[in-house]
């Protein structure tokens, strides 16, 4: 697509955004790619030890080699300490401030575990797949925020003695119910649903766009490449999230 067509689509998306009072954004790894965080699939993907996420991001993967998986999470946590939010995160934070200031509603549900939306100033982020900056007990309800600190050894739970684990959601595990219910409710009741930087392949999060569209919302996709959601949405914008969101939100907030 040439730049004029693309600019025209961005203008149409901006108009949809300008007419919306209640906006839901579902973000994925692609929005953090421009900050240097590897994606899981598609452009920018970096398999870990040659393995796809479906192979290591499981409770069985952790049970198989706890120390190795723990260290890998610890290394990722430390790397995050020097990673900053990018123009895409900033644009969504501006959009949230603008909508809230003008009496609108804004919900950001993220599949990301990197905390970069919050670092950009977004409030009330729904973390559907947990957080890399927290650990939890593998049995009881004990949780701890550890930030960017390295943790080479696996600590035992102070309450029950079981090994702690990263507070992320692995395949086959249910999503944090409060965040998931809030995301479902917001998707069912929004005017505009935006899917940003996600391959739209991991459920139930990927189902939010289907839910929003079925509930009557207008919809926009922003992603480097087409996804299974592209055919569902009103406007699919295939480009860098930082650039596209800055152009869309910049027009809206002035």
**What are the residue numbers of the active site?**
129
Asked whether position 142 contacts Zn ion by CB under 5 A, the answer is yes
Q: Identify whether the C-beta of residue 34 lies closer than 8 Å to the C-beta of residue 88.
A: yes
Cis upstream peptide for 204 (omega within 30°) = yes
Q: Applying CB under 5 A, does 159 fall inside the site for Zn ion?
A: yes
Q: Contact 215/209 with Cβ under 8 angstroms?
A: no
Mark residues 119-158: x for contact with ligand BJW by CB under 6 A, - for none: ----------x-----------------------------
- Does residue 157 touch Zn ion according to CB under 5 A? yes
- Positive/negative CA dihedral, 160, 163, 166, 168: negative
Identify the residue among 99, 109, 224, 237 touching ligand BJW (CB under 6 A). 224
**How long is the chain?**
254
7/51 with CB nearer ligand BJW: 51
What is the residue whose two structure tokens read 């080699």? 65
171 near Zn ion, rule: CB under 5 A: no
Q: Which stretch binds ligand BJW (CB under 6 A): 36-44, 94-102, 156-164, 187-195?
A: 36-44
Q: Is 137 in the site for Zn ion (CB under 5 A)?
A: yes
User: Which does residue 30 touch among Zn ion, ligand BJW, none (CB within 5 to 8 A, set by kind)?
Assistant: ligand BJW
Residue from 96, 118, 131, 227 touching ligand BJW (CB under 6 A): that is 227
Cβ 218 to ligand BJW, closest distance in Å?
Answer: 20
Based on CB atoms, which residue is closest to Zn ion, 51 or 140?
140
Interface pick for ligand BJW out of 204, 214, 215, 228 (rule CB under 6 A): 204
Q: How far is the CB of 102 from Zn ion (least distance, A)?
A: 45
Tokens of 16: 């949809």
Alpha helices in 114-190 (DSSP H): 116-119, 177-189
In sequence order, the β-bridge partners of residue 137 are 164
DSSP 8-state symbol, 51: B
Residue where the block lists tokens 């027009």: 251
What are the strands, taking DSSP E only, across the chain? Answer: 22-27, 105-110, 126-127, 130-137, 143-145, 164-168, 192-196, 218-223, 235-238
**Residue linked to tokens 């200031």:** 101
Contact residues: ligand BJW, CB under 6 A: 28-30, 33-34, 39-45, 53-54, 57, 111, 113, 129, 168-175, 180, 197-199, 201-204, 223-225, 227, 240-241
């Amino acid at each position: 697509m040439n730049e004029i067509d693309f600019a025209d689509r961005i203008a149409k998306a901006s108009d949809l955004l300008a007419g919306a009072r209640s906006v839901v954004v579902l973000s994925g790894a692609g929005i953090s790619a421009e900050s240097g965080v590897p994606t899981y699939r598609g452009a920018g993907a970096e398999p870990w030890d040659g393995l796809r996420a479906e192979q290591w991001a499981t409770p069985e993967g952790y049970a198989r080699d706890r120390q190795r998986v723990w260290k890998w999470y610890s290394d990722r946590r430390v790397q995050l300490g020097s990673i900053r939010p990018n123009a895409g995160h900033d644009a969504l934070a501006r959009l949230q401030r603008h909508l809230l200031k003008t009496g609108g509603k804004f919900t950001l549900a993220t599949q990301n575990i990197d905390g970069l939306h919050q670092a950009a100033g977004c409030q009330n982020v729904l973390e559907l797949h947990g957080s890399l900056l927290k650990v939890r007990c593998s049995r009881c309800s004990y949780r701890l925020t550890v930030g960017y600190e390295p943790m080479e050894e696996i600590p035992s739970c102070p309450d029950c003695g079981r090994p702690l684990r990263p507070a992320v959601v692995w395949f086959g595990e249910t999503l944090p119910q409060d965040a998931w219910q809030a995301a479902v409710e917001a998707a069912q009741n929004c005017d505009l649903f935006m899917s940003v930087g996600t391959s739209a392949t991991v459920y139930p999060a990927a189902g939010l766009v289907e839910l929003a569209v079925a509930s009557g919302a207008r919809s926009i996709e922003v992603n480097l490449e087409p996804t299974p959601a592209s055919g569902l949405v009103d406007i699919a914008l295939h480009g860098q999230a930082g650039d596209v969101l800055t152009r869309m939100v910049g027009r809206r907030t002035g």
